[in-house]
Structure 1
Amino acid sequence: MKYLLAVWDGGGATPPNLGIARLLVGRGHEVVVLGDPTLAEAIAATGASHRTWPTAPQRRSTALEDDLFKDWECRTQFGALNRVRERLMVGPAARYAADVVATLDEASAGAESAPFDAVLADGMLLGALIGAEARGIPTAVLVGSVYLVPSRVRPPIGLGLAPAHDALGRARDRAAYALMTRMSDVGTGPVDAARSELGLGPLRHLWEQWDHADRVLVLTGSAFDDPPPDAPNVRHVGPVLEDIPVEGALELPPGDAPLVVVGLSSSYMRQADLLTRISRALASLPVRAVITTGPAVDPAAIPGARNVAVVRSAAHGELIPRAALVVTHAGHGTLIKALAAGVPVLAIPLGRDQPENAARVARHGAGRVISVRSDAAAIATAVFDLLVEPSYREAAAALGTRIRAEIDSGTLLTELEGLAAAPHRPT
C-alpha cells in the first residue's frame, strides 16, 4: 500500500506521527511524508520519503525567529490557541489543501509511480484533510494527544474536570459543548472557502472536518483518555512511543540512588527558569537526575551538579523505564512514555494541552501536579513525596499495564491497513 502522511513540526506532537511512518515502512508499505524542512533527518530515519510543503507555511529552521506561532509572546492561553488557529488550522487551510491535492494528482497521473491508497494527516492540518476529502481518498486524522475536540459526553477541556457521573454533570457537558463549539467556529471562513474551491460544501462547525474522515485515530491510551467521545469514527489505538533521534551515549550520574528524568517542552515555552529551579531542587536530594533541555534551551544555561546531568537530548524510550520518577511539563509525548513504563510523574504544566494532561495524571493517582511558579524548595518536597509514597508508583504501574496492552494489541496497524484497503469515494 502507498500512504501520504501530512505533518508539521509540532515539537513533541511530531514523533508519534513519524513513528507511524516507521511502523508502516517496516510492514513493507510505501510512505511519502509532506513535512517541514526541519523534519528531514527524522523522516529519513523512518525509511519514508520526504517532500517539503510546496506552498503551505512551514519551519525552515529550528531558530526561534522561524517558529510559526511564537506563542510565548501571548499573554493568555486563549491568545496562544488563537495563533494556532490562525496560522495553522484555519488561515492557511487553502494552501495545505492545494498542496495535498497536487501531490495526490501527480501520483495518480504519473506513469512511474502508483497512486496513493490513503492519506494520514495530523489533526491540526484541516487543509490537508480537505484536500484528501476532495479527491475521495480514504483518510485518517492523527491525534497525538488526548481527544481535545468538544464533545457532548466529555468535560470541557482546560478546566481539569472529572467525567460526569450524574445528570447534573451530563448537563454541564452538553452546555459546555454548545458553548465551546460556538467559540471554535468564530473566524472559520477560510476553511469553508478552501472547501468551496475544491467543490465541497460548507461545514456546520469547524470540527466537523474530522467527522468527514474515515477514522480519527487517537494516539493515546483509552484508559488515560476517559470517557470515550461520542463521534462514531474515533478509535483509541494506543500511543506510538517514538523518540526524537539523538547522537551519542548518555553517561548517568554515578551511584545507585533513584533516577529522576526531567523533560520539559521540546519547543520554546520560556522554560529555562523552571529548568533551573528543578535542577537546584534535585541537587539538594539523594537522587541521580538527567535533565533534557531540548533544542529550544542551551544546556549550558542550566546549572548542573554532581548528581544532576544536563543534556540537550536523550533517548527517553531507553532512559524513562530505568527511572523512579519523571518530572515533566505534561506534554503528551513525555508523559505517556512515563505512564506506559509504569513510572509516576510530577507534572508542572506550562500551557497548551498540558493542564488537561496533568489533570488526568492526578485523577488516576499516578502523580502530582504543582504550579509553574513553584520554587526549588516546593519542587524538592514534591519530588521527595512522590519517591517515598508507593501509591503513586502502584497507580502508574496499573495504568501502564493497560496502556501497553493496547499498544501490543496491534489495533493501530489494523486500522491503518484496513483504511488503505478501503475503496476510494467518488470525487
Structure 2
Amino acid sequence: MSRFLFVVPPLVGHVNPAVGVAAELAARGHRIAWAGLPEVIGPLAGPTAEVFRCSAGPDGQTAVRPPDLRGPAALKFLWDGFLAPLAEAMAPGVATAVQRFAPDLLVVDQQAVAGALVAERLGLPWATSATTSAEFTGALDGMPLVAAWIRDRLAELRDRVGDPGATGDPRFSPHLVLAFTTPELAGGSVAGPVRFVGPSITARPTTAPFPWDWLDPARATVLVTLGTANTDAGSAFLTAARQALRERADHLQGVLVDPGGVLGDPAPDRDLLVARAVPQLELLARTALVVCHAGHNTVCEALWHGVPLVVAPIRDDQPVVAAQVAAAGAGLRVRFGRTDAARLGQALDTVLGHPAYRTAAHRIGDSFRAAGGAAAAATQLEQLLIPARQEAP
C-alpha cells in the first residue's frame, strides 16, 4: 500500500478529475489524503476524505476580474491575481501535509504550483494532474513576451517557496504528467512523460435535484452552462440563449444553468428550466446539445456522452479548448461577447441539423473510454512508484 497526497486548488473543475483517480487508488488499497481547501474538496471527495487545510489567500478564490478582460491581459491577471498568491498561500499547508501524512507521491494539479515547488524542495516524487489540455498546444508560442513573463513569475515563486537551484517548469512534472484528454480532441502528440488517460468521469457524492418528468421526449434538450466561475460575465449570453431557445420551442427544450441568479428565479414552464445547479452527468445522458464556455470539464463530459457542442470561450484556457472542439468537428465556436439570440440560434440549428457533429462527438467519446480514465491514471501513478520500491533496501 502506498500513500498519495493530492494537491488541488479551490476550483471544482480541477478537483473533480482528481476525485475519480483518488477513488480508484483507494479501491486498490492505497491511502489517500488531500491538501487544499476542505470546503471545496469535502463535498466532492466525500465526508470521509482526509484533508489537510491549505490557505487559499485572503478570499479563498480568484480576485474579481473585470469581465471584459481578454488575451494576454487576462492571463497576467490570472497569475498575479490568483495563481501566484495561491501558490504562496498554499505552500505552508502543503509542507505540513507532507510532514504529517508522509506521502510516497504527490499528485499536483497544474494550477496548484505550491505542490510541485514543495515536492522539489523536499526531494519528493510528484506527478502533474493536467485538467486542461491548453498547456500542450503551444498556446503561448506566438506570445514570447508573455511566456517569458510567466517563467519569471515561476522563478520568483521558486525562490520563495521551492528549491532555488531547480530549473524545471513546475507545471510539468519530469516524472509523469497525466493529461485528462486524448489526441483525438487535443490534437497531435507531445514530448516528455505525458500520458493521455482521457477524462476522469465518475459518479459524484452529491447531485442537485432535477424534475426529470419535465423532460419532453418529443423534443431535443439543450443544456446551457457557463460553469461556476463566470457569473460576472454571463448575463447577456444567458439572456440571448433563453431567447434563442424560446424561438425554437416547437422542437427544443432548454435547461439554463444560472448559479448567480442573473436571470432571476423564474418558475419552469414546458419550454425552459432555469436552475442554479443541475446533476450535469445524469442530464448529459438525455441531452442533444451543450452550449458552454468551453471549460475543459464540461466539454469532456459532453463528448464522453457523445453530445456535440456550441462553445463560446470567455478567457484563460477556454479559447484553446474551443479551437480543439471546432478542429475535431464536434461543435461550433461562437464569440462570447458578440453573440446575440439570432447568431446563437443559427449555431444551434447548424449543429443539431448536421449529423457530422454528433458523429465526431461520438468518435471522441469512444477515444476517451478507450484511454481508460481514472483507472488508467491510477495505474500510471502506481507504476511511477515501482522503481522507488525496487531501489528500497
Relative to the length of structure 2, the TM-score reads 0.87
SS class of match (1:71):
coil
Matching residue within 85, 97, 101 for 1:103? 97
Which contiguous aligned blocks of 4+ residues in structure 1 show a shift greater than 4 angstroms?
177-180, 301-305
Distance 1:363 1:260 in 2: 22
1:260 CA displacement:
1.2
Q: Residue in 1 aligned with 2:33?
A: 32
Q: Does structure 1 residue 401 correspond to structure 2 residue 388?
A: no
Q: Does structure 1 residue 256 correspond to structure 2 residue 218?
A: yes
Q: Residue in 1 aligned with 2:130?
A: 143
Matching residue within 328, 332, 347 for 2:296? 332
Q: Residue in 1 aligned with 2:318?
A: 354
After the TM superposition, which residues 119-268 of structure 1 pair with which residues of structure 2 at under 5 Å, given as runs? 119-148=106-135, 154-157=137-140, 176=142, 181-194=147-160, 199-203=163-167, 208-230=169-191, 232-242=192-202, 245-251=206-212, 252-268=214-230
Distance 2:296 2:271 in 1: 27
1:52–1:102 CA distance, 2 compared to 1 (3 A): closer
Q: Residue in 2 aligned with 1:89?
A: 83
User: Percent of counterpart pairs with the same letter?
Assistant: 25
State the Cα RMSD in Å: 2.8
- Give the aligned length: 384
Distance 2:45 2:133 in 1: 27
Identify unmatched segments of 5+ residues in structure 1.
61-66, 108-114, 158-172
Deviation per CA, 1:30-87: give whole Å up to 9, x if none: 211112143143244274212211x452755xxxxxx322223563332332232224
Contact 1:254/1:307 (<8 A) preserved:
no
Q: Residue in 2 aligned with 1:278?
A: 241
1:387 CA displacement:
1.1
1:178–1:277 CA distance, 2 compared to 1 (3 A): closer
Distance 2:291 2:68 in 1: 25
Contact 2:134/2:320 (<8 A) preserved:
no
SS class of match (1:323):
coil
Q: Does structure 1 residue 412 correspond to structure 2 residue 373?
A: no
Distance 1:95 1:422 in 2: 33
1:180 CA displacement:
5.1
1:27 CA displacement:
2.7
SS class of match (1:289):
strand
SS class of match (2:218):
coil
SS class of match (2:177):
strand
Most deviating of 90-99 and 335-344: 90-99
SS class of match (1:25):
helix
Contact 1:218/1:237 (<8 A) preserved:
yes
Distance 1:365 1:84 in 2: 30
Q: Does structure 1 residue 76 correspond to structure 2 residue 73?
A: no
Contact 1:222/1:228 (<8 A) preserved:
yes
SS class of match (1:145):
coil
Distance 1:77 1:215 in 2: 29
